[in-house]
């Protein structure tokens, strides 16, 4: 899909979709619980629908009842492979779970997922009693169980998702486990994993973020859980509001029960001088002359594209730290931002581990999403407050926020679909 976003004042309110991070973890936990779990306000992004299909391939049965997703759990694979779509979290979370099975399984995917690194499992799983063979560190993965547990060291410098998978699976292993984790990134995502495990009756002890003690032979309990609004999606709307919103611009549907890394967007907005106000319904924000800001996004790398787009409209250059976290996303996001913003006349410097965004007059341009949902959203922000921006492969937003452009349109954005 190709569309053009024109400079437009935004006004009104929008309810963001459910968190895909919460939803995918809840689906995995519901699969592992014998009995029926209920997921209220289920998220329906492409990643979430793919993981819903994964748990059905692994034996769960799902049905919608009055808007809630009922998951009848229990692992009884229907075939000898599972297809992960393009979900990086899903692959890294379910690989250790699949290693609990005694039957050989192959894990496949498509699109950008085929280039994302999975080679850690080649060493992690054998150290815990299972076997894993990757395709030179990438998909497909051939997994043979059974995961028994043990004491190992986990490198958390690339992604916290490998650790999330181990934390989900090892409570069901025969033996106790101790994980010694070094250089862990995105710690809020581990907090979220532990919070959801607690909802489903799983107990894990941790010492800061470097040692996790996991008792084996635990049992997942069928539970009810509500999927709160996605702060990653909200960040795209917030930054749009910061550069193009009026006095009646609000984001609704966000909760506070679970930790979400991208809630830190509030701090970035405040650093930039945006005006925020909490209400009973949500968070109000309206456009204001923004100042250059400095922000460390190492623990919340998904914020990079939309914060970079917001920084274009600040008074002075802004600096965002942590670009080492951007290499293995749906695209190499640091290079994608630099390339695509450059087409619109905006200078972006990549210096060591930081991105420096120089404010400038946005020029009319055609940008490519790089098949990356967050790059597509950032391009839209440039169009809303700058100059007409045509976005190729704009439907990439479906991965996390299928209604993104429809919601912008409802807020007053002028958008032409070609």
Token pair, residue 130, equals 């299972």
Please list the alpha-helical segments (H only) found in 261-385: 265-271, 304-311, 333-343, 373-385
Rounded to 10°, the helix 187-199/20-32 angle is 40
Please list the alpha-helical segments (H only) found in 204-303: 231-244, 265-271
Cβ pair 360, 315 in contact under 8 A: no
Residues 351, 337: Cα–Cα separation, whole Å? 14
Tell me how crowded residue 207 is: count the other CB atoms within 10 A of its CB.
9
Residues 382, 313: Cα–Cα separation, whole Å? 9
Give CA separation, 142 vs 24, 106, 131, 135, 177, in Å.
22, 5, 8, 9, 23
Is the bond preceding 140 in cis, omega lying within 30 degrees of 0?
yes
Of the candidates 79, 124, 87, which has an alpha carbon nearest to the alpha carbon of residue 105? Answer: 79
Q: Which residues does 332 contact at the CB level (< 8 Å), separation at least 6? A: 326
Query: Residue 342's Cα: distance from chain center in Å?
Result: 26
What residues act catalytically? 302
Identify the residue whose tokens are 């930790």: 259
């Amino acid at each position: 899909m190709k569309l053009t976003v024109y400079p437009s004042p935004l006004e009104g309110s929008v309810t963001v979709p459910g968190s895909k991070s919460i939803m995918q973890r809840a689906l995995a936990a519901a699969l592992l619980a014998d009995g029926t779990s209920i997921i209220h306000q289920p998220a329906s992004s492409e990643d979430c629908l793919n993981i819903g299909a994964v748990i059905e391939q692994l034996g769960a049965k799902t049905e919608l009842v009055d808007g809630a997703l009922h998951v009848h759990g229990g692992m009884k694979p229907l075939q000898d492979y599972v297809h992960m779509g393009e979900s990086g979290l899903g692959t890294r979370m379910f690989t250790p779970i699949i290693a609990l099975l005694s039957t050989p399984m192959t894990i496949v995917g498509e699109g950008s997922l085929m280039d994302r690194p999975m080679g850690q499992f080649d060493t992690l799983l054998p150290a815990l009693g299972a076997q894993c063979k990757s395709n030179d560190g990438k998909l497909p993965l051939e997994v043979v169980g059974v995961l028994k547990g043990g004491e190992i060291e986990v490198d958390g410098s690339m992604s916290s998702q490998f650790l999330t998978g181990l934390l989900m699976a090892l409570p069901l292993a025969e033996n106790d486990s101790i994980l010694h984790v070094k250089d862990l990134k995105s710690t809020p995502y581990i907090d979220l994993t532990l919070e959801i495990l607690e909802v489903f009756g799983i107990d894990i002890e941790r010492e800061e973020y470097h040692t996790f003690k996991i008792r084996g032979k635990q049992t997942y309990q069928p539970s009810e859980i509500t999927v709160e609004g996605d702060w990653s999606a909200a960040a795209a709307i917030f930054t749009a509001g910061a550069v193009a919103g009026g006095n009646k611009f609000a984001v609704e549907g966000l909760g506070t029960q679970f930790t979400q890394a991208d809630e830190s967007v509030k701090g970035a907005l405040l650093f930039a001088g945006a005006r925020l106000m909490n209400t009973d319904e949500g968070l109000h924000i309206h456009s204001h002359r923004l100042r250059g800001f400095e922000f460390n996004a190492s623990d919340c790398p998904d914020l990079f594209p939309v914060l970079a787009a917001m920084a274009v409209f600040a008074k002075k250059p802004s600096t965002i730290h942590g670009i080492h976290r951007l290499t293995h996303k749906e695209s190499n996001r640091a290079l994608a931002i630099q390339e695509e913003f450059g087409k619109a006349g905006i200078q972006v410097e990549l210096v060591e581990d930081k991105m420096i965004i120089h404010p400038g007059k946005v020029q009319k341009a055609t940008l490519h999403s790089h098949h990356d949902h967050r790059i597509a959203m950032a391009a839209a922000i440039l169009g809303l407050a700058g100059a007409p921006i045509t976005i190729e492969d704009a439907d990439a937003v479906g991965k996390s926020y299928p209604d993104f452009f429809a919601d912008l349109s409802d807020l007053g954005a002028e958008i032409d679909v070609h």
